[in-house]
Amino acid sequence: MTNYHLLGQKGKLFSIEQHRAVNHLYDGYLPYEFHLALVNRTAADFMPVLNVDDALADTILDASWGHDLMEDTRATYNDVKKVLGVTAADIIYAVTNEKGKTRKERANDKYYQGIKDTPYAVYVKLCDRIGNVTYGRTFGGGMYTMYQREQDHFEKSLAGEQLDALRPVLVHLRSLLRG
């Protein structure tokens, strides 16, 4: 049996390096790798749901580490593609917010459609959301209640085959949001 927690090492090293290079912090004070590790841990824990071979699992786990690269660091799509490959770069690109002044503008219909159109991007986005919700539930702050309010819209926006196949992951997210 594969230990998925050992995969995704290229993504881990590259992502931590890129976030440190811009002094990016999580919740204003934690090293950003704290969040990346939460997301990756979730992705590794639920990887059997995807039923993919180890090479693809490694790529998806690279993307889980790198999910915020294009949004929060100076790494471009081509930088990510060069280090992590086209599949990981496509997933990371898909989960990167649009430009916008508000949260609603950044996570618009085009954004969600891009996630749905990219294989495994819904999975990485769910893992990202679980990481954020887990943190908010554990440490408090407004993030947790914001995700509770957004959940119906989030699910409706991602509805489709990918989300249907990820029912155990979605059920876990829902259980975290019930408090």
Q: Angle at the Cα of 106 (from 105 to 108), degrees rounded to 5? A: 65
**Measured in Å, how far apart are the chain's first and last C-alpha atoms?**
33
DSSP code string of 49-98: GT---HHHHHHHHHHHHHTTHHHHSS--HHHHHHHH-HHHHHHHHHTSPP
For residue 120, the model assigns a pLDDT of 98
Question: Would the CA dihedral through 146, 157, 89, 120 be positive or negative?
Answer: positive
**Which residues, including other chains, have CB under 8 Å from residue 54's CB and lie 6 or more apart?**
2, 7
More confident residue, 179 or 58: 58
Q: Running DSSP on this structure, what letter comes out for residue 7? A: -
Task: In whole angstroms, give the CA distance from residue 154 to residue 162.
Answer: 14
Average pLDDT in the 132-143 region? 91
DSSP code string of 85-127: -HHHHHHHHHTSPPP-SSHHHHT-HHHHHHHHHSTTHHHHHHH
For residue 107, the model assigns a pLDDT of 87
Contact 121, 165 (CB under 8 A): no
Give pTM, 2 decimals: 0.96
The answer as to CATH 3.90.550.50 being correct for domain 4-177 is no
Share of the chain above pLDDT 90, in %: 87
Question: Mind listing the pLDDT tens digit for each residue in 38-79?
Answer: 999 999 999 999 999 999 999 999 999 999 999 999 999 999
Question: Mind listing the pLDDT tens digit for each residue in 151-165?
Answer: 999 999 999 999 999
Strands 30-31, 25-26: pairing is antiparallel
More confident residue, 115 or 104: 115
For residue 170, the model assigns a pLDDT of 98
Confidence band (pLDDT; 50, 70, 90) for 141?
A: confident
Three-state DSSP string of 120-173:
CHHHHHHHHHHHHHHHHHHHCCHHHHHHHHHHHHHHHHHCCHHHHHCHHHHHHH
Token match 């990981």: residue?
88
Task: In whole angstroms, give the CA distance from residue 83 to residue 78.
Answer: 9
More confident residue, 151 or 108: 151
For residue 6, the model assigns a pLDDT of 87
The domain limits of the chain are 4-177
Confidence band (pLDDT; 50, 70, 90) for 108?
A: confident
